[in-house]
Structure 1
Amino acid sequence: MTNLLVTIVELNVVRQDEILIAIRNAKQEIYRVIGASNAKQFQNAVEELEDLGLTNELEETDRAANGYDAIFSLTE
């Protein structure tokens, strides 16, 4: 988790970041959003989330969905 520095801020502040990562809960609802200001921060966050056992739903696509560059959830 060293690369995933988390600061709690309002959603409108996070949405100002260039790259957005969503995290789904067990009900498949997006309940957390992580912002990254550059590709390196994004890649670090992706690696940390994958290390936690989460899967990126958009890994096989080359475009964003619903404004998110990655959407993570638990693998079933």
Structure 2
Amino acid sequence: MTNLLVTTVELNIVRQEEMLIGIRNAKQEIYRVIGASSSKQYNNASEELEDLGLNNELEEADRAKNGYDAIFGLTK
């Protein structure tokens, strides 16, 4: 996760970003949110999460879900 260069901030600040990535825990709850202000940041974060073995459940979706552009977890 250190490759993501993530800074902890209030959720309302993160939600102001251009694109949002949700991270699901074992209970299938979104417990972390990553905000990206550009498609480059979004793509970099997505690649790092995939490298960690997480799957994007919205990978084949044609639109965002519940405000998230991607939702990563251990299962698809």
- Once the two structures are aligned, what percentage of the paired residues are identical? 80
In the TM superposition, structure 1's runs of 4+ consecutive aligned residues that sit over 6 Å from their partners are none
Question: Helix, strand or coil: the match of 1:22?
Answer: strand
* Per-residue Cα deviation, 1:1-44 (whole angstroms, up to 9, x for no partner): 56511100000000010000000000000000000001000000
Match of 1:26?
A: 26
Residue type matched to 1:13 in 2?
Answer: I
Aligned residues: 76
Residue type matched to 2:14 in 1?
Answer: V
Residue type matched to 1:28 in 2?
Answer: Q
CA deviation after TM superposition for structure 1 residue 70, in Å: 0.1
Gaps of 5+ in 1: none
**Normalised TM-score (structure 1):** 0.94
Contact 1:53 1:75 in 2 (8 A): no
